[in-house]
Amino acid sequence: MKNSQRRDEILKILKQASQPVPGTDLAQRFQVSRQVIVQDIAILRASDEKILPTARGYMMMPEGAQGVRRVIAVSHGMEGMRRELELMVDMGAKVLNVIVEHDVYGSIQGDLMIENRRDVDAFMDKIENGSSAPLYCLTSGDHYHTIEARDEETLDAVEEALMQEFGANQN
C-alpha cells in the first residue's frame, strides 16, 4: 500500500470512528510502526484535516462541536494535576490543551482533549506510569489550559473554582 493510500484509509477510519482510535491499533492494521502513523497524522493535519490527538488516540473534530473557549492560567505541582482536570470536567468543561511559555523555546502546546473522568484517568495513568513529565515541569508549575464549554456561565464557574483552588487567571 502506498503512503497516500494508507493516509486516505486512516482518514476514513477516523471519520467513521465513534471513539478515539489508538495509534498502535492503526499501526497494527497497516503493519507499520507507530512512528509511521504519527508521521501520517502530522501530514494529514498539515493538510488541514481536523484530527485531534487525545490521551486515548486520534479522532476527528466533531462538526459544529465548538462552544465557547477561554484560556486559563494555572500554577501547581504534580499533586494538583488530577484535581485540576477533574474540577474542570466535572463542571462541564473540556480541556483542549496545555500550554507553557518556555524562556528559550517560547510557547509549547500539547493537545489533551480531556472531557470526562475516564479521560482524566487515562491521562494520569500515562503520566504516572510513563517515562514523560508534564509540560508544566518546564516552568515550575506555571501553565495555561484552553478550555471549552457550552456557555460563558460554565467557563465563569470553572474559572472561579480554579482561582479558589490554584490561583487561576483568565488570559
| CATH number for the domain that contains residue 32 | 1.10.10.10
pLDDT of residue 118: 95
Owner of C-alpha cell 503520566 = 127
pLDDT of residue 166: 77
pLDDT of residue 64: 57
Give the count of domains, the chain: 2
Cα–Cα distance for residue pair 103/108, rounded to 1 Å: 11
pLDDT of residue 156: 93
Cα–Cα distance for residue pair 35/150, rounded to 1 Å: 35
Question: Among 15, 41, 60, where does a domain finish?
Answer: 60
- 122: domain CATH number is 3.30.1340.20
Is position 76 annotated in a ligand binding site? Answer: yes
Enter the C-alpha cell of residue 50.
481536523
Cα–Cα distance for residue pair 160/137, rounded to 1 Å: 24
Is position 63 annotated in a ligand binding site? Answer: no
pLDDT of residue 171: 43
What is the number of other CB atoms lying within 10 angstroms of the CB of residue 47? 9
User: Are 104 and 166 found together in one domain?
Assistant: yes
- DSSP per-residue letters across 38-81: HHHHHHHHHTT--EEEETTEEEEPPTT---EEEEEEEE--HHHH
User: Are 21 and 102 found together in one domain?
Assistant: no
pLDDT of residue 160: 92
User: Are 125 and 80 found together in one domain?
Assistant: yes
Domain that holds residue 20: 3-60
pLDDT of residue 47: 84
pTM above 0.85, yes or no: no
pLDDT of residue 170: 42
Flag residues of the chain having pLDDT under 50.
168-171
User: Are 56 and 72 found together in one domain?
Assistant: no
pLDDT of residue 61: 75
